[in-house]
Amino acid sequence: MLNVLQRSGVFRAVGLSVLFVLAVCTTARAQETTVSGKVTGSAGEPLSGVTVQVRGTATRTTTDANGRYELTSPSDGVLLFGLIGYKGAARTIAGRPSIDVALEPAVAVLDPVIVTGYTTQRRADITGAVSSVNVESATQQTSTSVLQRLDGRVPGVTVEAGGSPGSRTTVRIRGVSGFQNNDPLYIVDGTPVQDTYLNWLNPNEIGSIQVLKDASAASIYGSRASNGVVIIETKRGRSGQRQVSLDVRTGVASPVKGYDDILLLNSLDYFQVVKTAYDNGGLTMPQNIYGDPNAPTVPAYIWPNDGKKQSCTTAGPNCGSIVDPSTYAVTSDGSRLIMPGSAGTNWWKAVFGTAPFRDANLALSGGGDDNAYHVSFNYLDQEGTAAFTRLQRGGVRVNTTFNVN
């Protein structure tokens, strides 16, 4: 009889335990709720691909193209929102059926990367002498050549440019080390170029410039890098909103003041040079077409020179083919042909003058999750301060990137 009572007590305890577990499960299920909402950016744009997870559980989902989500969670749970490039957020459900969240962009601080050879390295990992050019400050300089913008920006590098537009720019990284070629090796977007002028490259399209100075560059490029290496990376498209930039520059270049103070500008200046030569030699300046050596003047007429004799007696076939009789005068006796006197030509004004400069750049860049593009248009027109010197350059550049699968 005692054993029967004990067994009935055990069954009663087990039954109560099962009822308690069922009650707890029923209560937990009753506390779950469906939560939905929308995730946007700081500007109100919908964010897709945002991970929404219930803290402490494996329950999670992602937002659709419109930024909306929906999941089942305990009414007292906490939702965690996360997306690369944005600050994470947490929201307590507290029985609410709808929760909207606005994520703020996160500013990521990356280690500086240097392009060396065919790859990139962190600056802290480089043991050789590498100099990076501040491209943002270099774009403020107006120049037709990329190499001219290296002047004064890289320690130990000398840049010498010619005076005319489009002239050759000489770059010396390690000085003059030989009797032949001392030019550095130029790498543009990973490709070595043989042209050392680089006038075809638009300076506004430069993304980064690195200069490899020491002999360690020879381990990458071989003997071609014996005079140093200049690595140029052009601008590329980035995924994100479409960006349009327009840069128009115009100006006027003037010749250097001071040359006209030392140049011979007219015939009387040349007479003073000849007279000084006679005076230094202790000789007396003879009478010439300028009259008194102490008070020279330009005569009204000067005997023409046909290359054979100083004067021409007739205006016939012998002289008519050499000189134009309509521009000359005849003496009173009618026997000789002479030309009007002239003070000479001001060659400074004839050769040098102001030169206009025009440069226009239009760039369009952007992309999506699996593509990026960068398209640019450039037109440059620069006249030189010397006559008959001019550089005109026009170009279209397209750079695209696609990620397949």
With H, G, I as helix, E, B as strand and everything else as coil, classify residue 59: coil
- Assess contact for 345 and 314: CB atoms under 8 A: no
Q: Which residue has the higher pLDDT, 337 or 139?
A: 139
Query: What is this structure's pTM?
Result: 0.56
How far apart are alpha carbons 160 and 155 in whole angstroms?
Answer: 15
Nearest CA to 68 out of 105, 100, 103, 111 is that of 100
* Identity of the residue numbered 275: K
Q: What is the CATH number of domain 113-234?
A: 2.170.130.10
What are the φ/ψ torsions at residue 274 (nearest 5 degrees)? -65, -40
On the question of pLDDT at 100 being above 50, the answer is: yes
pLDDT for the residue 109: 62
What CATH topology corresponds to 31-109? Immunoglobulin-like (2.60.40)
Q: Which residue has the higher pLDDT, 321 or 389?
A: 389
Most confident residue range from 95-99, 143-147, 223-227, 379-383: 379-383
pLDDT for the residue 116: 59
pLDDT for the residue 336: 59
How far apart are alpha carbons 142 and 164 in whole angstroms?
Answer: 15
Q: Which residue has the higher pLDDT, 166 or 374?
A: 374
Domain parsing of the chain, residue ranges: 31-109, 113-234, 243-256+352-402, 259-348
Please write the tens of the pLDDT for every residue from 330-339: 666 665 566 6
Would you call 94 exposed, middle or buried from its count of C-beta atoms within 10 A (0-12, 13-18, 19+)? exposed
Q: How does residue 315 score in pLDDT terms, banded at 50, 70 and 90?
A: very low
Q: How many CB atoms lie within 10 A of CB 368?
A: 10
Most confident residue range from 16-20, 249-253, 303-307, 337-341: 249-253
- Which single residue is written with the structure tokens 């300089």? 141
